Amino acid sequence: MLSPEEKRILGALQLDRIETHLSRIASFDRLSGSRGEEEAVRYIEEVLTESGIRYSIDRYAVLLSNPVQAELKVMYGGVPRKIPAKTRSFSGETGSSPRQGILRWIDPGELVRDPLLFHLLEKKWQRDLEGCIICSPILNPIQVLQLERRGAVASIQVWSGKEEWIHEGINDLIWGVPSPDQLRYYTSLPILVISQKQGEELKSLCGGGAQVEGEVCTVVEMGWYRIPQLEAEVGPKDDSLPYVLLGCHLDSWYKGATDNGTGNALVLEILEVLQTHASELRYPVRAVFWSGHSNGRYAGSAAYACTRFQDLWNRCMGYINLDMPGLRGATDYTRLASGPELVDAAKVIVHEITGQTGFYVRPVRGWDQSFQNIGVSSFFVWSSTLPPHHPDSTANSFMSTWWHTEHDLPQYHDPEILLQDGKIYALATYRLATQPERLFKPESLLHEIESRLTDLAREGDSSFSLSSLLNGWVDFKNIYQKWCIEWKSPAQGTDLPARDDSAYGGGTQGAHGTLLRLLRSIKLLNRLYYTEKESYNQDFALEQEAIPGLSRVQYLQDPRLDEGDRELVRHYLTLQANRFRETLDRIVCELAGIYLSR
């Protein structure tokens, strides 16, 4: 039930102010690194200054890739034909020397999607696609690399939505700026995307037995930019306190009214409202307008995670992402993408504001979730979505037909839905900044991890036993649950024996220290749940199952692998199991107030 203070916060949201912000921000072409993005930053500065909100601007050096031009010609029966197409960020380019070849259709199921399988099988591939232009549905970056290794000269990918508008996009599995060893994952293969209608015709021609010739020309500009990233803060000005992090990408393809001008407008409005109620906030609220999202694979939020690593680990309570709110027709609020430890809190908020009952979707990779390797809890990755089978949805998703196109203009947003989204985000932010102890349910995260670990143990069976790891998990869970019960007990509440956290980044004691201890334990659990790489790194920008490292146990049954390959998989699984055990030990030390050296 909404408190009087919460009703006051929600009642203070003004639709006309939100619409003004949207109109101004969506008047600029905001591709990251562009003049339009800088103009949008200046507008936000003006709003924050007028409202008395403290802010700063950082500039990060990042690698961006801008699709410039794409041309596709096919020749069938001696008749040339030009097909509308767009290229992709971080794809290869032909420059002024078109690539030519015979068109060949391939089903994506023939291509591996996982980097581990890619490396195991790479040595076995033949140059069986030499000189071919490969046509297929949309591929992930690992599948594109496979085509390149097998000799293809270009990739034509067919969008699965029925609209003829062609969507901009990116071919990059590197999250943010690459490390030197990751440069090998950039392809030199030119990529073109065409509409479903055109793709069906090409598939029919390729399957008809006749020879179809193609010619591909692409121009892609790739280089280093110093991108602007604006950070604002309201509430207590105290660098020892935990804080709430809001994020929304400011850059876009073209005007980007609903992706993500609407999100930017809501963040500005929420900041303005919270500024007038700053005395009510127990903890600070930070908001960052990410750059490098669209043409840099989350480069801005990844740079923030890198440069603010210690601060995020020690103090960030949760990350609230605002992306694509207020779409026309987006009346479905049931897909809850919050982390397991916060999904019940998200469910309550959605029901209070909309009356709908949500459900937990799955671990989400993408959407500027650049803080999963650190372990920061996700609280609303998105809000409203298009209902299933909505006429405006594309590619069997809740993305819209105008998404990532030049048609993404203010006419495609719904002011009332946007205001409702604003209430959800404002309430989530306010509750996390005033009563976090009531929101977190670590037991739900424990349940999700144990359920997934049990499934993986069943999959591994005799090929790779996880029974000892599962037994160790049960012992750990008993310790953790006992600590949580004591933490929540009415007799003690959050007043467990105080200890000085000053040596661990933030001189907080007592209640704040115990809260931070709980949050750090949750972050360690999240690292197991979401990631397989180190906390200071970024996992690949690919869809992943929960506990992704150990999820590779399924490959022990893959008929494409020989015994030597399977031994390599077992070794990798052993490393991941050791990481799992070490993390559990670290959590126990964290709860006991014993800090491991780092």
Tens digits of residue pLDDT in 57-104: 999 999 999 999 999 999 987 788 999 999 999 999 998 889 999 999
Mean predicted confidence (pLDDT) in 350-361: 96
pLDDT at 403 over 50: yes
Query: Do residues 491 and 505 share a domain?
Result: yes
Q: Which of 268, 398, 266 is nearest to 325 (CA)?
A: 266
Within 8 A by CB and 6+ apart from 328, the residues are 258, 392, 400, 411, 412, 413, 414, 417
Provide the β-strand partners of residue 385: 332
Mean predicted confidence (pLDDT) in 11-39: 97
> Is there a domain that residue 379 lies in?
yes
CA distance 429 to 40: 24
Of 115 and 211, which is predicted with more confidence? 115
Sign for the pseudo-dihedral over CA of 263, 269, 275, 277: negative
> Is there a domain that residue 598 lies in?
no
> Is there a domain that residue 178 lies in?
yes
> Is there a domain that residue 190 lies in?
yes
Within 8 A by CB and 6+ apart from 95, the residues are 219
Tens digits of residue pLDDT in 309-333: 999 999 999 999 999 999 999 999 9
Tell me the CA end-to-end span of the chain in Å, nearest whole number: 43
pLDDT at 530 over 50: yes
Residue with tokens 């399977």: 566
3-state DSSP call for residue 156? strand
DSSP 537: S
What is the reported pLDDT for 489? 57
Lowest-confidence region among 204-208, 229-233, 594-598: 594-598
Query: Do residues 547 and 506 share a domain?
Result: yes
Query: What is the 3-state composition of the chain as percent helix, strand, coil, each rounded to the nearest 5?
Result: 45, 20, 40
Of 233 and 207, which is predicted with more confidence? 233
What is the reported pLDDT for 211? 84
What is the reported pLDDT for 487? 63
Query: Do residues 423 and 314 share a domain?
Result: yes
Percent of the residues in the chain that have a pLDDT greater than 70, as a whole number: 94
What is the reported pLDDT for 488? 63
Burial (CB count within 10 angstroms: exposed 0-12, middle 13-18, buried 19+), residue 121: middle
> Is there a domain that residue 597 lies in?
no
User: Can the peptide bond before residue 260 be classed as cis, meaning omega within 30 degrees of 0?
Assistant: yes
Within 8 A by CB and 6+ apart from 173, the residues are 115, 140, 141, 142, 185, 540, 541, 542
CA distance 248 to 259: 10
Tens digits of residue pLDDT in 566-577: 999 999 999 999
> Is there a domain that residue 514 lies in?
yes
Cβ atoms < 10 Å from Cβ of 3: 12
User: pLDDT grade, residue 301 (50/70/90)?
Assistant: very high
Sign for the pseudo-dihedral over CA of 90, 91, 97, 98: negative
Query: Do residues 512 and 583 share a domain?
Result: yes
Query: Do residues 43 and 74 share a domain?
Result: no
Provide the β-strand partners of residue 336: 360
Provide DSSP, 262-299.
HHHHHHHHHHHHHHHTGGG-SS-EEEEEE-SSTTTTSH
> Is there a domain that residue 516 lies in?
yes
| Strand spans (E) along 85-240 | 86-87, 99-105, 132-137, 154-158, 191-194, 213-234
Mean predicted confidence (pLDDT) in 11-23: 97
Tens digits of residue pLDDT in 163-182: 999 999 999 999 999 999 99
Query: Do residues 431 and 375 share a domain?
Result: yes
DSSP 114: -
CA distance 581 to 439: 28
Q: Which of 200, 223, 246 is the last residue of a domain?
A: 223
CA distance 576 to 579: 5
Q: Which of 53, 428, 57 is nearest to 277 (CA)?
A: 53
Chain Cα centroid distance, residue 149: 28
Is the pTM above the cut of 0.95?
no
Sign for the pseudo-dihedral over CA of 8, 9, 11, 17: positive
Within 8 A by CB and 6+ apart from 20, the residues are none
pLDDT at 293 over 60: yes
CATH number of 319's domain? 3.40.630.10
Residue with tokens 């920061």: 376
User: How many independent structural domains does the chain possess?
Assistant: 3
Sign for the pseudo-dihedral over CA of 538, 544, 545, 551: negative
Domain ranges, residue 139: 66-223
Query: Do residues 306 and 367 share a domain?
Result: yes
Query: Do residues 205 and 102 share a domain?
Result: yes
Amino acid in the structure at residue 199: G
3-state DSSP call for residue 68? strand
Query: Do residues 212 and 277 share a domain?
Result: no
pLDDT at 439 over 90: yes
pLDDT at 375 over 90: yes
Q: Which two tokens stand for residue 220?
A: 């892609």
Please, what is the Cα angle at 465 between 463 and 467, to 5 degrees? 155
Query: Do residues 301 and 408 share a domain?
Result: yes
What is the reported pLDDT for 513? 72
Provide DSSP, 457-501.
HHHHTTTS--HHHHHHHHHHHHHHHHHHHHHH-TTTTT-PPP---
The upper half-sphere exposure of residue 329, i.e. CA atoms within 13 Å in the direction of its Cβ, equals 15
Q: Which of 165, 199, 223 is the last residue of a domain?
A: 223
Chain Cα centroid distance, residue 335: 15
What is the reported pLDDT for 500? 38
CA-based Rg of the chain, rounded to a whole angstrom?
25
3-state DSSP call for residue 330? coil
CATH number of 123's domain? 3.50.30.30
Query: Do residues 527 and 578 share a domain?
Result: yes
Residue with tokens 């600070």: 284
Residue with tokens 């334990």: 521
Q: Specify the pairing of strand 191-194 against strand 86-87.
A: antiparallel
What is the reported pLDDT for 207? 79
| Cβ proximity of 222 and 64 under 8 Å | yes
CA distance 100 to 102: 7
Q: Specify the pairing of strand 243-249 against strand 316-321.
A: parallel
Tens digits of residue pLDDT in 463-519: 898 999 999 999 999 888 888 777 665 443 433 333 333 433 444 445 577 788 889
User: pLDDT grade, residue 209 (50/70/90)?
Assistant: confident
Tens digits of residue pLDDT in 226-269: 999 999 999 999 998 999 999 999 999 999 999 999 999 999 99
CA distance 258 to 141: 26
Query: Do residues 352 and 449 share a domain?
Result: no
Q: Which of 223, 242, 257 is the last residue of a domain?
A: 223
Please, what is the Cα angle at 346 between 494 and 545, to 5 degrees? 100
Percent of the residues in the chain that have a pLDDT greater than 90, as a whole number: 85
3-state DSSP call for residue 361? coil
